[in-house]
Each structure stands twice: as C-alpha cells, then as structure tokens.
Amino acid sequence: MKVMVVGPGAFGIKHLDGIKNISGVEVVSLVGRTLDKTQKVADDYGIAHVSVDFDQALEQTEADAVILCTPTQQHASESIQCMRAGKHVQVEIPLADSWADSEAVLNAQRETGLTCMVGHTRRFNPSHQWVNRRIRAGDLNIQQMDVQTYFFRRKNINAKGEARSWTDHLLWHHAAHTVDLFAYQANSPIVKANAIQGPVHPELGIAMDMSIQLQAESGAICTLSLSFNNDGPLGTFFRYICDNGTYIARYDDLVDGKEEVIDVSAVDVSMNGIELQDREFFAAIKEGREPNSSVAQVLACYKVLHDLEQQLVG
C-alpha cells in the first residue's frame, strides 16, 4: 500500500516512525509547507517524492491513502479533498473545529465509501486498550474518570518547541481526546456536558485554562482539567475510578491506584499508540471494513464539543 504523509512536523514524524514498523506499506510522498524542512525529513526516512503543493501532489502521486498532519483549520477541507480524489484518509485529531465541518466530512465519506479515520490515539494506547478489554469483559465499570491535560505553551509552538503557523485549541483539539475516550470506555453516550474557561490570552486569542464536566447515559461522570499554563509535569493523565479498581494511564503506560505497574506489553503488537493507530488504518483499508475511530464513530464527540463551545461563547 502506498501512502502520502502531509505535514512533516512533530506528529507527521511520529507517523513516519510508526509506519517504518508496518510491513507492506510504503510512504511515497511527503508534503510540507517549506521545501528545505520537508526535504530533510524525506531524506531521513528515504521518501522519494517531496512537494510543497498539496493539490499537485494529490493529483500526481500514486498514493492509495493519505495521512493528514496539517493545521486543525485545514483538516476538514483536506479530508474531503482526499476522498474526492479517490484516496482513503486518516486525519489527525481533531477532525474539524466546527460541527458543520465535522458533518461535511462524514457526508463525503458516505458518498465516496472510502475509509476515513480520525486520529483518536487514546483508543489505541495499550494502557487504555487494557482498561477497555476489562470493561468489555464485564470485569470493570467506570464510575468516574478524572483527567488532566497540561502543557506549558504561552507561545505559539508545537510539541517539538518549534514555531507554529496556526494556533492550537484546548477545546477542539485537546478536549476531543477525552470526550471521545470517555464515551468509548463507558460504552455509553454523553448526555450532559458543562464547561468554563479562564481568561483569553491577549496575543494567542484563546483561553489558556478550561474545566469540563461530562456525564454518560450510564451515570458515569468525567472531570477534565486543561491548561496551557502548567509548568510541568506535561501531558495527559487519566485516572479511571471503577467499581473494581482504580487505574492511572499515562500515554502507553498503566499503573493501579497504588502506583504499581501493570504490564501492558502483551496487549497489542506494539507499545506505540500512533503505530497501532496506523496499523488499524491500513488493515481496515485492506480488509474493506470500518476502522476503529472512523469518522462515523467519533462524530458524536464533535457534537459535544460544539455544544460546549456554545456555552462558552453564550
């Protein structure tokens, strides 16, 4: 299978690292904003074709699928463009930054019948997979999830500390991970959602702190705290408070409530959530099935984000 990766930034490189471990998949094109940076990354990963023109690359490159790691504001339009060009697409989280654009992507997927998957990586991290399997087996039920998403980003930079050409967002990007994961792990739709936010940054134009409360139809609740002001530790930490144990997930690692390590190395073929996400994308295409975290599966998350946004601007 031949794939084009668009966006050689922090997450584009994470996908390139993951794809190296997946047999039968070849990255045939790398598309970026600046030629020098894109060429350097392409040279590092042995990618023959480089372009700074997405439209041209999409038309000329013989790719079966596209992985989009571009700015949030481009995700919806580029996903639709890929499918209109006959390409399967995996778009990094978030799917879009509006409810209308989210629906438009789903409509394009239904019209074309192509695979459209969204990078909700938490569904694939071995730590969260371990919890999910115990829930599905009936061993656990979530009573509450307590989640902290903390970064120190008072300047417009990415995960590698490089300047960004666009502005990140706590609600549409970072909250999307938890909103989707909560409904997925509780195996129950979200029926209540509330949000408050702190002051808007005078230069970035976004709120730097946010608090979100969720309740699932099952009765389970979730409290999510997000900040771009936190000076360490950085990342997202999930505490699962269940009827039969407490578990804390830190990306691909898992401990119990007493901080005793739980071995999740045998949960899947890799300990890398991004690689597992990519494996699911390619497998779904080859097998002609709907992938986990398809646009249809995650769409409800974006309706919740839309409703929360209306509260915050109302």
Backbone angles phi, psi at 216, to 5 degrees: -90, 160
List residues bridging with 6 in a β-sheet: 31, 68
Q: How far apart are CA 192 and CA 11, in angstroms?
A: 32
The CATH architecture one would assign to domain 125-267 is 2-Layer Sandwich (3.30)
Q: What is the pLDDT of residue 169?
A: 85
Q: Give me the residue spans of the domains in the chain.
A: 2-121+275-292, 125-267
Q: What is the pLDDT of residue 165?
A: 64
DSSP per-residue letters across the chain: -EEEEE--SHHHHHHHHHHTTSTT-EEEEEE-SSHHHHHHHHHHHT--EEES-HHHHHHHS--SEEEE---GGGHHHHHHHHHHTT-EEEEESPS-SSHHHHHHHHHHHHHH---EEEE-GGGTSHHHHHHHHHHHTTS--EEEEEEEEE-B-SSSB-TTSPBPSS---IIIIIIHHHHHHHHHHHTS-EEEEEEEE-PBPTTT-SBSEEEEEEEETTS-EEEEEEESB--SS-EEEEEEEETTEEEEEETTEEEETT--B---TTSSS-S-HHHHHHHHHHHHHHHTSPPTTBHHHHHHHHHHHHHHHHHHH-
User: Amino acid identity, residue 139?
Assistant: D
Q: Quote the CATH superfamily of domain 2-121+275-292.
A: NAD(P)-binding Rossmann-like Domain (3.40.50.720)
- The DSSP output letter for 61 is S
**What are the pLDDT tens digits along the chain (314 aa)?**
999 999 999 999 999 999 999 999 999 999 999 999 999 999 999 999 999 999 999 998 899 999 999 999 999 999 999 999 999 999 999 999 999 999 999 999 999 999 999 999 999 999 999 999 999 999 999 999 999 999 887 776 666 667 666 567 899 999 999 999 999 999 999 999 999 999 998 888 889 999 999 999 999 999 999 999 999 888 999 999 999 999 999 999 999 999 999 999 999 999 999 999 999 999 999 999 999 999 999 999 999 999 999 999 87
Q: How far apart are CA 295 and CA 102, in angstroms?
A: 8
Q: How far apart are CA 110 and CA 94, in angstroms?
A: 19
Q: DSSP alpha helices (H): ranges in 49-191?
A: 54-60, 75-84, 99-112, 126-136, 176-186
Q: What is the pLDDT of residue 307?
A: 98
Residue that is written with structure tokens 């969260």 in the block = 128
- 135-156 burial, b for 16+ CB within 10 Å, e for fewer? beeeebebbebbbbbbbebeeb
Q: What is the pLDDT of residue 160?
A: 64
Tokens of 258: 């007493």
Q: What is the pLDDT of residue 104?
A: 98
- Is the preceding peptide bond at 8 cis, omega within 30 degrees of 0? no
Q: What is the pLDDT of residue 312?
A: 94
